[in-house]
Structure 1
C-alpha cells in the first residue's frame, strides 16, 4: 500500500481522490475479463502504478510477475487469472459501498492519549481493502502535522509479591496451531515487520499465511508501538499451510481452518532488538531491559477485551534475528503471564536451550516462591547470569534459582 504519513486519526479511501476515475477506467474492464494472461496482468498493474509514479519505476515493480505466474500449475493459474483477479477488481471498484464510509480509522497515539482504540472489518470489507492493495491503488491521506502525544503507563510490580506462578505447558507444534489460545506474534515495533518488503521470519510468515493481517499494517503501522503498547487482532483466518523458515519458507497449499480459527486472537508484542554483536547482546541482562520486556508482555496479555482464563501460546520471543536469549525470555514471559493470571503454552520449535523450561517451574513450585520472589532473584543475580544463560540447558539457571534471597553468592 503506497501512502504518505502525516498526522491524522483517519485516512480516506481512494474514491475521494481526483485520480479515482483513472483507477476505475483501468480496473472496470478487468471485472468481466475471464481470459487474462500473465503479461496482461502485468500491464494492468503497471498502468495503475503509472498514475502515481514514473513509468520506468512502474515497469520495474512487476517485470518478474509473468514468469512467476507461468510457474504455477495450470489449474491454479487459470483460477487466479480467470476468477480471483476479476473478482478482486470488482471489489476494488466497489470499495466505498463495501466499506460503507469514505474514511478508515487509524490506530494512532491520540494527543493526550491513553485510551484503547479498535478498528473492525468484516471479512468482505477486508477482502475489498486487500484487493485495492493487490492492484496497488493508494489510500488518500489528508494534510496534517506530525505531532504525537505520548502518555506514560505505570506497571504495578506490587502484584508480583501476591501472585503464584501460572502453569507452563511445553508444546512441539506451532503457535498458529494452538486454536482457542491467545497466539503471540513476535512483532516488529512497526506492525507486520517486513511482510510487504523483505524478511520471512515468525511475524512475516504469519502475515503471509493469514493475509487479512496485512490490514493491520494499513491501520496500525503508521506509528511504531511504544514500550507501553501492544495490539491484538481477532478473527484473522489462515488460508495456506507452509514449510520452512526464512530463506527456506514455502507455501504448501490451501488449508481450511475457518471454523477453528474464528475465535483466535493474535497478540502483537514487539521485543527489544539486540543484534548479533556480543557486546550489544549482553545489554539484554540490564535490569531496565528486563523490566521493559516483562512490562511489554504483561500489557499484551492484559489488553481490554481479551478473553479471561485463556492461555498464551508463545515461544522464543525476540530470539531470532533480534538476538534475544531464549532462556531469559521464556522466564520473563512466564512472569508476565503469572501476574496476568494466564497459563503459558511454550512452543520451542526444537530449540534445545529451552527444552527444560519445566524444570525451572518445578524448582519454583518446590521452593514455594511467588512471582515476586522469582523476579527479585532475576534482578539480583542477572549480572552474574549473563554468560550462564547461554548454556545448552537450564542447569545454571536452576542452580541460581535455588539460592535464597539472603544474599548468598552464586
Structure 2
C-alpha cells in the first residue's frame, strides 16, 4: 500500500479514537451530573422546609383554630407532617403540651420559686451534660381521650381527640420500660442576645406584655439521643430509634423528634415548642445547624444521599435493629438537685462521689432524675414516665478517682 494512503488511514483512525474518547468523557460527565441532580432533588424538600422554618413565626402552626376548634380552620406550615392533609393526629398535641407543663415545666418553676430565683433569673446554674443512660418505666396517657374529662377550651380540644389512637402502631400495651442515652458530643451551642419585656397594650383591664428572653432561656445546644422503648414485658418487643433536637442547658430541658420523608420533625421542631421563647431560641439554632448539615450533604452529594437525621441508630435500616414505624416527639425535663447549696456545687459533689465512692464525705443529694413525655403525631399515642426516671449510679463508679481529682482540682 502506498505510504501516503497509510498515513491518511492512520489519521482517520486517530481522529475516530479521539472522538470516541471525547464521547466517553461527556457521557461520564452526564452521568455525574445526573447523580448530582438526583441528590439535589432528594434534598430539595429539606431546603424548602428550611426556608419555611426561617420565614415562619410563633403561632403559624396551630392545628385547631381557636374560634371553631376544627382542623379545617387550623393553621399549618408547609413541612412534611405539618400540613393539614398529612393525616396526623395533631388534635392530641395540646394534651401532650399540657402533660409537659404539668410534669416538667411546673416542677421546674416550683423549684425556682422555692430557691428564690423566680425574681432573680441568674441565680440558676447549668445542669451540665448528662450523658448517662436514662432508665425508667412509662405508662400510656389516655385521660384526654375521655369525653367528660374537662370542660372549657381544653376540654373541647380533648373531646375532639377521642378515638385518635391508631390500632396498628408500635405501642400496643399500656406500660413498659425505656432507655434514653443522650449524646451532645461536638454539638453547636448558641447564646441568644438579650430581649427585654415589652408592653403591647395598656388599658383599664390590665397590661398585655410581650415577654422577652430570660438569661436561662437564651442558651441552646443541639442534641441527639438514642431511645429504646419496650412495649410491655416482652423482651424482644422493643423499638430503638435516633432522635434529634434542642437542649436548653440552663433549664435542663430537651425537645427531640424523629425525622423522615413523611415527617420533617427536626425541620419543624420549633413549632412544637411550649412557648414563644423556646420557639425563638430553637429556631435560631436550627436555622444554623440544618443549613450546615445540608451544605455538607451537597458537597458530598455524589456519594452520600442518606438522611442526616435518620431514626435508625446505625445510620441505616438493618434487620438486626427493630426501628419504629411511628414518628416520635420527645420532651425531657431534668429534675434539679435538691439542697441548700448551689446546683453547680451539688452536681460537682454528686459526681465526685461516683468517682470516689469511699473515703469522702458527700453532701446529701439525691439521684439525678428526669421526666419524659412522648407523643407520636402520626400514631396518636402519648407515653409518659411513670415516675422520675434515674441515671444508674453503678455505671460510673468504675472510673478512677485520681483522674477525676486531677481534672477537677
TM-score interval, smaller chain: under 0.3
Q: Kindly indicate whether structure 1 or structure 2 has the higher relative contact order, using CA contacts under 8 Å at least 6 residues apart.
A: 2
Using the size of structure 1 for normalisation, the TM-score is 0.24
Instruction: Indicate the structure (1 or 2) with the bigger Cα radius of gyration.
Output: 2
Q: More helix per residue: 1 or 2?
A: 1
Using the size of structure 2 for normalisation, the TM-score is 0.24
Q: More strand per residue: 1 or 2?
A: 2
